[in-house]
Amino acid sequence: MSTTPLPELPPGLAARPIDPKRGLPIPAVNERPDGTADFLAIDGRTAMILAIQWHCSLCAKPMSSLVAFLGGPKSAESGAYSDPPMHEGGAEAALTLCPHMARQHARRATERRASQGAVLPEGFSEAKPQEWVMVLTGGFRTGLMPAEGGGTVPIFLPADYERTRRFVYDDGVLVEKTGS
Ligand SMILES: [Zn+2]
């Protein structure tokens, strides 16, 4: 098997186990109890525990006063996220490395539906946004939402945004939108 070196990772992510199939670090919330990866489903319980402890959902290490949430423009507008908070550096790495985010035409929705245990809060779209928004905040609340198909999933509600960073597709590749 040939391997390609990864772009520089934040130390926390670099310390994560690597998924042998994709060659990517396994985020804490995507790790199954047996240690394998499910990149399409977030473990709601792990997500909630890490968030309440103010630990990063990707590397599971403590976060500083500012935490990052990553989602589409609708999440940023509504202030409600199905994905838990993470380090800013981890969010940058996710934008670069996650095939779902990095490339405009990568497919995920059908894969996701086929993946066991992949549930989204009711009313959450799984369509891929045209743009990704990273919000940095000093606080957030957590809650539980009814999930499609029953049960509940955690939801994360960031407080006032300290900063917002926008990423758009340029020629199919994600780049940061700077200035305004
Ligand atoms: Zn992290």
Which pLDDT tens digit goes with each residue over 120-146? 666 666 667 889 999 999 999 999 999
- How far does the centroid of ligand 1 lie from the alpha carbon of residue 64, in Å? 10
Structural domain includes residue 145:
yes
pTM score of the predicted model: 0.84
Backbone angles phi, psi at 174, to 5 degrees: -75, 130
Residue 41: predicted pLDDT: 86
Structural domain includes residue 25:
yes
Structural domain includes residue 6:
no
Structural domain includes residue 99:
yes
Nearest-CA neighbor of 122 among 104, 143, 101, 107?
Answer: 143
- How far does the centroid of ligand 1 lie from the alpha carbon of residue 92, in Å? 10
CB-based contacts of 137: which residues, under 8 Å, 6+ apart? Answer: 66, 67, 69, 158, 159, 160, 161, 162
Cα separation, 57 vs 47, whole angstroms: 6
Share of the chain above pLDDT 90, in %: 62
Which pLDDT tens digit goes with each residue over 66-123? 999 999 999 999 999 999 999 999 999 999 888 778 777 765 554 554 444 456 666 6
- How far does the centroid of ligand 1 lie from the alpha carbon of residue 57, in Å? 7
- What total of structural domains would you count in the chain? 1
Structural domain includes residue 21:
yes
Structural domain includes residue 150:
yes
